[in-house]
Every structure is written in C-alpha cells, then in structure tokens.
Structure 1
Amino acid sequence: MVVRTVPLLAGLMLAAPALAQSGKPLRDYPVVEVAGTAVEHVEPDRADVTLGVFAEKPTAAEATAALARQSTGLMQQIDATGIARKDMRTTSVDVTPIYAEAREPKTQIVKQTLTGFRASTRLVVATGDIEHVGELVAKLLATHANQLEGVEFRISDRAEREDALLGKAVANAQKRARLLAEGAAMKLGELVEIDAGQSAPMAYASAKSARGMAAEAAASVAIRPGEERLEAHVRTLWRLLPK
C-alpha cells in the first residue's frame, strides 16, 4: 500500500500547478466562445479651425501691439459670424527675435544681425456649421488671420454612440452564439464571460484636415468632413445546455 500511494500523491501535486498555470477556470459544462461586432458610419458635426496670426516689427513692443490689434480684429470678426466667445480658445502667444544672416567673404564666418521681432498667436475656433467651414476660413484669412494651421472634424456625442455600439455588439455575439448552439443541437445558456473594447476611429472619404494653407489657397479649397467609422468589439463566452 505504501509503495502505491507515493506515486499517486506525486501525480496529484504535479497536476495542480499545471491547471493553475493554464489561466482558465475548470468548467464541468460545455461552452462556446463568440466575438460580436457593431459598426456605425457617422458624419462629424463639429469642426475645430486653428488659425495663426503674426506681426513683424522693429521692436518687441511694436510687434506685440500690432499683434494685439490684429487679434482683436479677428475676434470681432468671428463674433460677427455668430460664434460664441466660449467656442474660441487661444492656445499660444510668442514673441521671437528675427535675425538676418550674412557670410564674410574672406573668413566665411556667418554673422547674425537683429532686424526685428515677430509676435504670433494661435486661436482655435469651434463651429457646428460644417457646411460653411470653408467659407469661414476664407473670410478670416482674407482679413486678420495670416495662417490656417488646420481644420479638425469631430463627433460631439462620440461617447454615447460608442456606448450604444457596445450594446449592439453584445446582441450580435448573442445571436451568433445561439446559431452555433442550435447547430450543435443544444440550447444557449447564460453568459459566462465578456470582454469589450472600441477600435480607433477611421476617417472616410474627404480630407479631414488642411494644414499650413496660405490665405490665397484657402479660398479655393473645398473642406468636407467625410465620415468616421466607429466600431465596438466584444468577446463573449456562453454556457451550452442540452435541449
């Protein structure tokens, strides 16, 4: 008896770690693992227009004063379009020196000479008038703004849409699991496990951004948001029951 008991105990001790290392709980009933997906194509309903304004003058004080006048004029022009002040946001203000470089013919040494100062600011304007973003950009660049840094489109209720897609993805997984259960001559039981996640948005169709455009070019460019593809994915595990 003693000789037979020792190998049996050793076998049990070796088996226990192997089960723990698998990372999956033991189940005494059949299961089916099914992935569920839900997709929605959405047109963005908001646009963030980033504009640049700069002024170059002999002194820093003069450049700053000129920038203040241009920025004030730009804000007033945006006010006239009906866009609220809460939808305007200044993201940067800078004053930098401007140097001219000249190389000495004999020594080939490059010398820098201070010629003035450049004051600049960046303003982000949010609008829900997607259809007329191009007209807004052209109008602002034709007067007080010097540069178009970019136009970014977004979906204002993205979080709500992604939550709804998760529910649809679970329903999709349940439908597929039921089909598999019926194909196996069994009945679908309760949900045992579920993991969820959203994919990164994908831009569709038209250009989503236009960067570094000058005022002359902006007036001739049509700006369209296109569509974004929103996705939700779930991994589910269902219990199978006999019919």
Structure 2
Amino acid sequence: MKKYIVSLLLLIALSSQAFAASAVPSADPPILSVEGQGESAALPDMAAISVGVMSENENAASAQNENAKRTKEVLAAMENLGIQRKDLATSDYTFYPTTASDENDRSTRISYVVRNSVTVTVHDLNAVGGVIDAALANGANEIHSLEFLSRDTSKARDQAMLHAVRDAQEKANTIAKGVGMHVIGIKSISESTNGAISRPLTGDLAMASKHAATPIEAGNLTVTATVRIDFILGA
C-alpha cells in the first residue's frame, strides 16, 4: 500500500511538471520592420495648360463683358487648333473690386477685376508651345501653369514597387548581419504607390511667349512606391 501511494505521488508530480512545461509559451522569433523606397520613370503623353484672361474696368458690367469676349476668342482659337470642346474646361472664375485707402483709412473703390481661367488638355505634346502662343495671341494674358501627365503608369508603378522591395531587403539583410542574425522569412508586407508626379511649369510664361515662340520639353515623370515589410529573423 505504501509503495502504491509513493508511485501515485510520483506520477502526479511528473504530470504536473509536464503540464507546466506545456503551459509556457514558446518565444516568438524577433521581427524586423523595414521600409523600402523605389521610383521609376514614365513618359508623359498629355499636358494640361491653365490659361487665364484678366480684365479690369471702372465699370463692373464693362469688366465682365470684356472678359467674356476675350475668353470666347481664346476658346475659338483653341478649337481652330483642333482641340475638342471636352478638353476645354473652366477651372476658376473670380470677380472682385479693387480698393484703396485714403489718409483717413476710408476705402475707395477703384475698379473691378474679372479673372477667367480655362484648362486646356493637349494630347499632342508637340503642339503645347503653339497652344500657349495661340492663347496669348487671342485674348489670354495669363498662363498660370503647364503640367505634363501620363494616361497609363502601370508599368512604371510595377518597376517602382520592385525597386522598393529590393531596397527593403537590402536594408533588412544589412541590419540583421549587424546584430549577428539573418532573415529567415517574412511576416507581413504593405505598400503604397503614388501616381506619376506631374511636372508643373510655372513662372511668367506669358511674358516669355510675347518675345518668341514657346519651346517646350516634356521630360519624364516620376512614379514612387513605398513598401513596409516585417522580416522574421533567425540566429
């Protein structure tokens, strides 16, 4: 009987130790979070030109009428170049009085200003300079911006993501080596891609065009990608 009790107690003790050992969670492998950056070039195949007509007159109605007349002339000139109506859009219209203050800080109205901005989408990059020149020759007196764009950036986006992944892998391998470990797997990946970064050109394009035909070089667009990878490290 005494031997049976001792055996039973030994069995209970061994079972308790086995349960305690199984209850202790195994240590998770270390995780290294790395961000990678990549970019790729895309060729532009269209341009957006913001053309402006500014009119000023002491009479409000006269300022509006003058602006409307000159804006119609600009639109007609664009259509004569073969630009379709769907590629002409009013992007901004403002009407406001200008004032000045006398010695007693009393405001006095001087004139009325009307600004009408039209965005012209050009699908032939070789025609961009001619569009600017034609707009300025037919009533426009402001060129707010010139922006190069691309319809399809999927290939450049894929290349940018591949470059970002390689960048993250290289960083992870370097860091792991520095702490005496190495990459043995990947836990998770997330990414974000920016569309083609347009190349806006600003400045006094209107003044430049008054003196010579406007030369335009489209250049390349840049697509950027960012990946965040959680790498699993091992000894």
Instruction: Spell out, residue by residue over 1:200-230, the C-alpha distance to the aligned partner (whole angstroms, 9 max, x if none).
Output: 9778xxx841234335545534332322332
- Farther-moved stretch of structure 1 (222-231 vs 129-138): 222-231
Whether 2:216 is the aligned partner of 1:230: answer: no
| Correspondence 1:6-25 to 2 at 5 A | none
- The amino acid of 1:97's aligned partner reads P
2:151 pairs, out of 137, 156, 171, with: 156
Cα distance between partner residues in 1 of 2:42 and 2:72? 36
| Correspondence 1:19-58 to 2 at 5 A | 28-29=28-29, 36-58=36-58
- What residue ranges of structure 1 are gaps of 5+ in the alignment? 1-25
| Correspondence 1:192-231 to 2 at 5 A | 192-198=187-193, 208-215=200-207, 217=209, 220=212, 221-231=214-224
SS in 2 for 1:51: strand
Instruction: Spell out, residue by residue over 1:32-56, the C-alpha distance to the aligned partner (whole angstroms, 9 max, x if none).
Output: 7665554312232222111111233
SS in 2 for 1:214: helix
Q: CA deviation at 1:164?
A: 5.5
Residues 179/93 of structure 1: CA separation in 2 closer, same or farther (3 Å cut) = closer
The CA RMSD measured in Å over matched residues stands at 4.2
Q: CA deviation at 1:121?
A: 0.8
SS in 1 for 2:205: coil
Cα distance between partner residues in 1 of 2:208 and 2:32? 61
Cα distance between partner residues in 1 of 2:92 and 2:35? 46
- Farther-moved stretch of structure 1 (168-177 vs 211-220): 168-177
Cα distance between partner residues in 2 of 1:115 and 1:168? 58
Match of 2:62 in 1: 62
- Farther-moved stretch of structure 1 (142-151 vs 161-170): 161-170
Cα distance between partner residues in 1 of 2:101 and 2:226? 61
- The amino acid of 2:201's aligned partner reads S
Cα distance between partner residues in 2 of 1:188 and 1:111? 74
Q: Is the 8 Å Cα contact of residues 137 and 218 (structure 1) preserved in structure 2?
A: no
Q: CA deviation at 1:91?
A: 2.1
Residues 193/98 of structure 1: CA separation in 2 closer, same or farther (3 Å cut) = closer
Cα distance between partner residues in 2 of 1:187 and 1:137? 58
Cα distance between partner residues in 2 of 1:34 and 1:197? 14
Q: CA deviation at 1:148?
A: 1.0
Q: Is the 8 Å Cα contact of residues 153 and 195 (structure 2) preserved in structure 1?
A: no
Match of 2:112 in 1: 117
Q: Is the 8 Å Cα contact of residues 153 and 196 (structure 2) preserved in structure 1?
A: no
- Between the two proteins, the alignment pairs up a number of residues equal to 209
- The amino acid of 2:225's aligned partner reads A
Cα distance between partner residues in 2 of 1:88 and 1:42? 25
Whether 2:104 is the aligned partner of 1:126: answer: no
SS in 1 for 2:61: helix
Match of 2:8 in 1: none
- What residue ranges of structure 2 are gaps of 5+ in the alignment? 1-25
Residues 54/31 of structure 1: CA separation in 2 closer, same or farther (3 Å cut) = closer
Instruction: Spell out, residue by residue over 1:123-161, the C-alpha distance to the aligned partner (whole angstroms, 9 max, x if none).
Output: 111112223312210121012211111112233334674
Identical positions, percent:
24
Q: Is the 8 Å Cα contact of residues 151 and 211 (structure 1) preserved in structure 2?
A: no
Match of 2:131 in 1: 136
Q: CA deviation at 1:97?
A: 3.1
Q: Is the 8 Å Cα contact of residues 150 and 196 (structure 2) preserved in structure 1?
A: no
TM-score norm. by structure 2 comes to 0.65
TM-score norm. by structure 1 comes to 0.63
